[in-house]
């Protein structure tokens, strides 16, 4: 087989060292590895598992940073702007399948087309076409022609889901993804595992076509040793070192063996016998390991060699605006590519999207029924009044039968017994002279003043109404106290009038509350529709979005496709921003249905702008997405992630004013409520829906500004965490 050579080496690695901690021991993966790979060839790296092959490949594309040593790719250091590695100049197939099971073959391939075919690639290809002789041909595998390769690789139709493929079929799809759009360097980590012989032949034919018609370099690892004879150069690795490399025929002839397996066995035996276990590595140039007839012209980099900076010379800062514009457009294209893929995955979860629309109103309704409503109680009634007119009847008629159901008793002992055994929520005892005592108290007669001043202990016993309730049930007791006092206030003018007195004497001279948002009904004592419903609308939408978005981000961050994205040039910032944008689909889709159901079907108020309430809802959703990314970025299992989310939510319930006003918190706790952004969103939503506030309201504007600051800070922390 004729090999390919070039005047510029594709890879030049010198003295690479990398070690990692495993348990309590230190494992050396690369042990002063020196390796040169010529351009335009197929280079096969073989060795046992754990010898450092995958570590070396990951170091080439920046996924692993070696402790010391250096590597040049096509004459440039790693990360140079002209390399586009990581980026569209690289086709990388890891050991893992690294595909999304919920996407189809077509969707997966087109995702990698979008990643690889950015504007920077277009500019590069245009420059190459102007300078190359002869002109570069079309891609062997591209977004326009990958259909024809599906049959040759025994793959089903492109609309087939990845999840329905066998392990070998998935690897073939992954193989095709790594060849898209003319990558200059192709790295294939065990691509033929699980494939039948005919398919393996088709894969090798495709690789030979790529190296024959393009100036591409292919680095491949394999456990099938005889398969290595199809390559141009073989490198033998063991324990992080390169034992030897050269063309297959040269290696076999030098060692006088008939197979690659025998050659590798001989090298391993020599390695064990070596006294210092540090065999001398073969130093070679492309000309002595490849046939001279195979040399091709490779266009060297257009830029002059990098010169060492002179520290005594002042460097002028200049901006290449063309490169800046190209980089910005490329960033947008890559972000769009990952956002598009995530949206495709999201839209396949139709039931999840539908449930996000229905679950928020359901939870709002459920909590509004269970929390914030006025208690409806059953009380015993011991009415001993003998006055005429009977003012107690007027008083009892002022109490809403929807809130209080009275059961008549002849004596207080029986009512007390039933209260103690739980049949009653307490009982009310009306004195025998209810009407006369009320009139005495409000007209300040001599009889009442003398009686009370002579014996203050009699003041309680002489009260017109006595309510006996369980003080442990604070809400019920205080609610009944308010109901009874309000009923007396309303009944007093009528009682005075029935007794032949001036009704105005029955009007109490106290501060009258003039509410901004009136309750929907007189029975709604705690103004649940104006207060609790907007509050739970914000809270439950926040919780729902956090739950959905955290799973999506954690899943994508921990899958093997994450590293493959990075090798394709996607930055972690673009990855995070793509997730943020795709997760905003959830509040965007459910916002209007949720608002419609909550306002028009559940009866929540809407005195302000519906658009402003939608804006607050979306702003709250954006803070929820940012929060979910922060929680899902923690390096723990998904189960522990949801424990963290639960702890965060319940902490918010306790301290962010969900069940109790945050104004009641101790002063040293109040600063920490800013980590719960829904606190201020709740205030803003109440102001819009219940008060009819507009954009001019300072609380609303401050809340939206704080949301923006919160999102920026949290996404920055997520980026630092992923680093």
Q: How does pLDDT run across 120-166, given as a tens digit for each residue?
A: 555 455 554 445 444 444 566 665 667 778 888 889 999 999 999 99
Is residue 542 a part of any domain in this protein? Answer: yes
What sign does the dihedral 645-647-651-653 (CA atoms) show? positive
Asked if residue 414 is part of any domain, the answer here is yes
**What CATH number has the domain bearing residue 239?**
3.40.50.300
Question: Domain check: are 153 and 290 in the same one?
Answer: yes
Looking at the structure, tell me whether residues 79 and 135 fall in a common domain.
yes
pLDDT score of 462 = 62
Residue 327 confidence (pLDDT): 73
Mean pLDDT of 284-303: 39
Q: Is residue 287 part of a domain?
A: yes
Side-chain half-sphere of 231: how many Cα atoms within 13 Å?
30
Residue 354 placed within a domain: yes
Based on the fold, state whether residues 198 and 282 are members of the same structural domain: yes
At residue 609's C-alpha, the angle toward residues 608 and 614, to 5°, is: 120
As given in the structure block, the two tokens for residue 323 are: 């490169």
Of all helices (H) and strands (E), which one includes residue 72?
A: strand 68-73
Confidence (pLDDT) at 353: 87
Each residue of 46-67: pLDDT tens digit? 988 889 999 999 999 888 999 9
Q: Which residue has the higher pLDDT, 391 or 133?
A: 391
Q: How confident is the model at residue 655 (pLDDT cuts 50, 70, 90)?
A: confident
Given pLDDT bands bounded at 50, 70 and 90, which one contains residue 390? Answer: confident
Residue 91: name the closest of 178, 215, 10, 176 by CA: 178
Give the pLDDT confidence score for residue 301 in this predicted structure. Answer: 40
| The pLDDT value given to residue 669 | 84
Structure confidence at residue 320 (pLDDT): 63
308-351: pLDDT as tens digits: 444 444 444 455 666 677 778 888 888 999 999 999 999 998 88
CB atoms within 10 A of CB 351: 7
> Residue 112 sits in which domain range?
9-297
Instruction: Please tell me what DSSP assigns to residue 161.
Output: B
pLDDT at 427 over 90: yes
By DSSP bridging, strand 9-22 and strand 404-408 are unpaired
Is the same domain home to 536 and 630?
Answer: yes
43: nearest Cα among 285, 295, 247, 293: 247
| pLDDT bucket at 519, cuts 50 / 70 / 90 | confident
Does one domain contain both 493 and 548? no
For residue 404, give the H/E element and its range: strand 404-408
The answer on 398 and 276 residing in a single domain is: no
For 89, the token pair is 């100049």
- How far is 449 from 453, CA to CA, in rounded Å? 6
Shared domain check, 363 and 382: no
Domain assignment of residue 279, yes or no: yes
Report percent pLDDT > 70 for the chain. Answer: 83
485 & 583 share domain: no
Torsion 72-75-78-83 (CA) sign: negative
Over residues 198-232, the pLDDT tens digits come to 888 999 999 998 888 667 899 999 888 888 889 99
pLDDT at 512: 61
Helix, strand or coil for residue 142? coil
Asked if pLDDT for residue 456 goes beyond 80, the answer is no
Count of residues in the chain: 723
Question: How many domains does one find in the chain?
Answer: 3
| One domain, residues 547 and 679 | yes
The pLDDT value recorded for residue 122 is 54
Q: Provide the pLDDT for residue 300.
A: 36
On average, the pLDDT of the chain sits at: 83
Quick one: 478 and 595 in the same domain?
no
Q: Which pair of structure tokens corresponds to residue 24?
A: 């309590």
Distance CA 609, CA 163 (A): 46
Same domain for 384 and 485? yes
% of the chain with per-residue pLDDT over 90: 44
Same domain, 554 and 499: no
């Amino acid at each position: 087989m004729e090999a390919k050579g070039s005047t510029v080496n594709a890879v030049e690695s010198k003295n690479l060292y990398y070690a990692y901690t495993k348990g309590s021991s230190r494992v050396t993966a690369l042990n002063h590895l020196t390796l040169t790979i010529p351009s335009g060839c197929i280079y096969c790296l073989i060795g046992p598992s754990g010898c450092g092959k995958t570590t070396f490949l990951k170091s080439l594309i920046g996924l692993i940073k070696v402790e010391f040593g250096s590597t040049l790719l096509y004459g440039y250091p790693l990360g140079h702007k002209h390399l586009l590695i990581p980026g569209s100049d690289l086709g990388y197939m890891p050991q893992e399948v690294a595909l999304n099971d919920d996407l189809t073959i077509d969707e997966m391939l087109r995702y990698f087309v979008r990643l690889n075919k950015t504007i920077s690639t277009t500019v590069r290809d245009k420059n190459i076409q102007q300078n190359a002789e002869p002109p570069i041909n079309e891609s062997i595998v591209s977004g326009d022609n990958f259909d024809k390769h599906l049959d040759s690789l025994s793959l089903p139709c492109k609309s087939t889901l990845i999840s329905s493929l066998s392990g070998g079929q998935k690897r073939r799809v992954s193989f095709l993804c790594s060849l898209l759009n003319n990558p200059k360097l192709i790295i294939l980590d065990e691509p033929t595992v699980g494939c039948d012989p005919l398919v393996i032949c088709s894969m090798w034919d495709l690789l030979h076509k790529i190296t024959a018609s393009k100036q591409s370099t292919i680095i491949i690892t394999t456990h099938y040793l005889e398969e290595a004879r199809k390559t141009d150069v073989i490198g033998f690795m063991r324990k992080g070192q390169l034992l030897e490399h050269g063309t297959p025929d040269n290696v076999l002839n030098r060692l006088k063996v008939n197979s690659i397996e025998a050659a590798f066995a001989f090298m391993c035996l020599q390695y064990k016998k070596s006294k210092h276990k540090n065999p001398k590595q073969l130093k070679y140039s492309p000309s002595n390991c490849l046939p001279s007839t195979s040399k091709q012209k490779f266009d060297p980099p257009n830029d002059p060699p990098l010169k060492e900076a002179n520290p005594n010379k002042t460097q002028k800062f200049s901006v290449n605006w063309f490169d800046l514009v190209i980089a910005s457009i490329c960033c947008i294209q890559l972000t769009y590519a990952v956002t598009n893929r995530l949206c495709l995955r999201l839209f396949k979860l139709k039931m999840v999207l539908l449930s996000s629309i229905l679950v928020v109103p359901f939870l709002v309704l459920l909590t509004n029924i269970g929390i914030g409503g006025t208690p409806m109680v059953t009380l015993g009634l011991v009415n001993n009044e003998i006055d005429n007119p009977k003012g107690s009847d007027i008083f009892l008629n002022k109490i809403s039968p929807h809130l209080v159901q009275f059961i008549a008793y002849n004596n207080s002992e029986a009512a007390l017994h039933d209260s103690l055994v739980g049949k009653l929520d307490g009982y009310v005892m009306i004195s025998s002279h209810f009407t006369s005592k009320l009139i005495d108290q409000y007209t300040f007669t001599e009889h009442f003043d003398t009686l009370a001043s002579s014996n203050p202990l009699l003041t309680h016993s002489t009260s017109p109404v006595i309510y006996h309730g369980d003080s442990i049930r604070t809400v019920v007791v205080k609610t009944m106290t308010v109901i009874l006092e309000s009923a007396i206030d309303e009944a007093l003018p009528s009682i005075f009038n029935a007794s032949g007195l001036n009704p105005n004497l029955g009007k109490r001279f106290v501060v009258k509350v003039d509410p901004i948002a009136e309750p929907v009904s007189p029975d709604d004592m705690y103004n649940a529709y104006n207060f609790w419903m907007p509050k739970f609308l914000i809270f439950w939408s926040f919780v729902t979005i956090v739950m959905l978005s955290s799973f999506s981000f954690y899943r994508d961050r921990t899958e093997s496709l994450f590293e493959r994205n990075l090798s394709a040039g996607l930055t972690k910032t673009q990855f995070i921003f793509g997730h943020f944008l795709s997760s905003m689909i959830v509040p965007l889709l459910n916002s209007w249905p949720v608002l419609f159901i909550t306002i028009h079907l559940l009866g929540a108020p809407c005195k302000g702008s519906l658009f402003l309430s939608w804006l607050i809802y979306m702003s709250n959703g954006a803070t929820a997405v940012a929060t979910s990314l922060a929680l899902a970025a923690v390096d723990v299992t998904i189960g522990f992630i949801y424990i963290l989310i639960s702890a965060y939510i319940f902490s918010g319930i306790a301290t962010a004013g969900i069940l109790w006003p945050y104004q009641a918190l101790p002063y040293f706790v109040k600063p920490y409520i800013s980590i719960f952004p829904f606190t201020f969103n709740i205030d803003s939503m109440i102001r819009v829906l219940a008060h009819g506030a507009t954009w001019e309201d300072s609380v609303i504007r401050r809340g939206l500004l704080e949301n923006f600051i919160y999102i920026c800070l949290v996404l920055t922390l997520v980026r630092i965490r992923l680093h």
